[in-house]
C-alpha cells in the first residue's frame, strides 16, 4: 500500500458482505448474487485489512435497511465511491484529489497501460451518523461526485443500490493508495431548499432546466450549475477544474 501524509489510527465505515459470506468472492459472477451486507469499521492504516476487503468482498458506502441492497431499502451513506474504467489515470486522479482523504484501489481488469480503479471518498470520519438519508439527497450527491468531480466515472455504478465487486484479477497487478489529509474529508452541502426548487421545476416544466446548487468542500462554498433532473450525462465541471472546488 502506498500511503501519503500518514496519521494516527483513523477508521471509516463501509457496508461489506463480510459477516455472512463464508468464502471470499473469486469472480464478478459470484458477486452478483450477494445482496446482504453489514456495516464494518475499517482502519485506514491497516493494509492487510483493506486489501482483504477490496480483494475478496463485495462492498459499498451505501447502507440499507436490514442490509438488503435495493434502492427502496436505502437509508444513508458514509461516503461516495466511483468506478473508473477509462479516460483517467491513477496518477492524475491522485494529483486531482491530493487535497482530500481518499482510497484508490485497482479493479479486476486493471493494467499498467489501461488503468481501471475505484476512488472512495469517505465523509466526516469523526461522525457515525449516516449522510443523505433521503433518496433525492442521495441521488444528487451521487450525481455531483460522478458527473462533476469525476466525470470519467462509469455512470452505471452510482445508484442507491450500487455495490462494488472485489478486485479479482492477478494479485501482482493490485494497487492500493490511501491519502490522509487531517480533517479534509469530502463534504457536500445539499439542502432541502435545493431539492424543493428541483421538484418545483420538474413539476412545472417536465423537462431539463438549469438551477444553481452549491457544493462545500473543506468549508469553502462554490456555486455550480446542474440540471434540475437527477439524471444526466452532461459535464458541468471539466476534469481539470474539479480540484478548483476547494
pLDDT of residue 176: 96
List pLDDT tens digits, range 208-236. Answer: 433 444 443 333 333 333 433 333 332 22
Q: Compare 67 and 127 and report the one with higher pLDDT.
A: 67
CA separation, residue 78 to residues 90, 125, 130, 139, 212 (Å): 23, 9, 6, 14, 25
List pLDDT tens digits, range 4-21. Answer: 544 455 889 999 986 555
State how far the Cα of 245 lies from the Cα of 76, in Å rounded to an integer: 24
State how far the Cα of 135 lies from the Cα of 123, in Å rounded to an integer: 17
pLDDT of residue 229: 38
State how far the Cα of 236 lies from the Cα of 181, in Å rounded to an integer: 27
* Residue at 222 is within a domain: no
* Residue at 7 is within a domain: yes
Q: Compare 177 and 230 and report the one with higher pLDDT.
A: 177
pLDDT of 242 strictly over 60:
no
* Residue at 234 is within a domain: no
Q: 144, 130, 23, 6: which is closest to 74 by C-alpha?
A: 130
List pLDDT tens digits, range 105-155. Answer: 999 989 889 999 999 999 987 777 899 998 888 888 898 888 888 989 988
Average pLDDT of the segment spanning 46-57: 92
* Residue at 200 is within a domain: no
* Residue at 13 is within a domain: yes
* Residue at 97 is within a domain: yes
Q: Compare 59 and 237 and report the one with higher pLDDT.
A: 59
Q: 148, 149, 143, 179: which is closest to 162 by C-alpha?
A: 143
* Residue at 123 is within a domain: yes
pLDDT-based confidence at residue 3 (cuts at 50, 70, 90): low
Buried b (16+ CB within 10 A) or exposed e, 86-102: eebebeebbebbeebbb
Structural domain including 59 reads 2-182
pTM of the predicted protein model: 0.74
* Residue at 93 is within a domain: yes
pLDDT-based confidence at residue 202 (cuts at 50, 70, 90): low
Number of domains in the chain: 1
Q: Compare 142 and 204 and report the one with higher pLDDT.
A: 142
Amino acid at each position: 500500500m502506498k500511503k501519503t501524509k500518514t496519521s494516527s489510527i483513523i477508521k471509516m465505515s463501509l457496508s461489506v458482505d463480510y459477516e455472512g459470506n463464508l468464502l471470499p468472492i473469486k469472480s464478478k459472477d459470484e458477486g452478483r448474487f450477494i445482496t446482504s451486507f453489514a456495516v464494518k469499521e475499517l482502519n485506514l492504516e491497516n493494509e492487510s485489512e483493506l486489501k482483504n476487503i477490496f480483494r475478496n468482498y463485495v462492498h459499498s458506502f451505501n447502507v440499507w435497511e436490514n442490509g438488503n441492497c435495493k434502492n427502496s431499502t436505502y437509508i444513508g451513506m458514509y461516503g461516495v465511491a466511483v468506478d473508473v474504467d477509462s479516460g483517467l489515470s491513477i496518477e492524475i486522479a491522485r494529483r486531482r484529489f491530493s487535497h482530500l482523504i481518499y482510497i484508490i484501489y485497482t479493479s479486476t481488469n486493471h493494467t499498467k497501460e489501461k488503468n481501471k480503479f475505484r476512488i472512495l471518498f469517505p465523509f466526516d470520519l469523526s461522525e457515525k451518523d449516516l449522510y443523505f438519508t433521503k433518496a433525492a439527497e442521495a441521488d444528487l450527491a451521487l450525481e455531483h461526485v460522478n458527473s462533476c468531480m469525476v466525470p470519467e466515472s462509469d455512470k452505471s455504478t452510482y445508484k442507491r443500490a450500487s455495490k462494488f465487486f472485489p478486485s479479482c484479477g492477478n494479485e501482482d497487478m493490485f494497487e492500493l493508495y490511501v491519502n490522509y489529509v487531517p480533517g479534509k474529508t469530502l463534504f457536500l452541502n445539499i439542502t432541502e431548499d435545493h431539492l424543493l426548487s428541483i421538484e418545483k421545476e420538474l413539476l412545472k416544466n417536465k423537462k431539463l432546466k438549469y438551477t444553481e446548487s452549491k457544493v462545500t468542500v473543506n468549508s469553502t462554498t462554490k456555486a455550480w450549475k446542474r440540471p434540475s433532473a437527477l439524471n444526466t450525462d452532461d459535464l458541468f465541471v471539466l476534469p481539470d477544474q474539479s480540484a478548483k472546488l476547494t
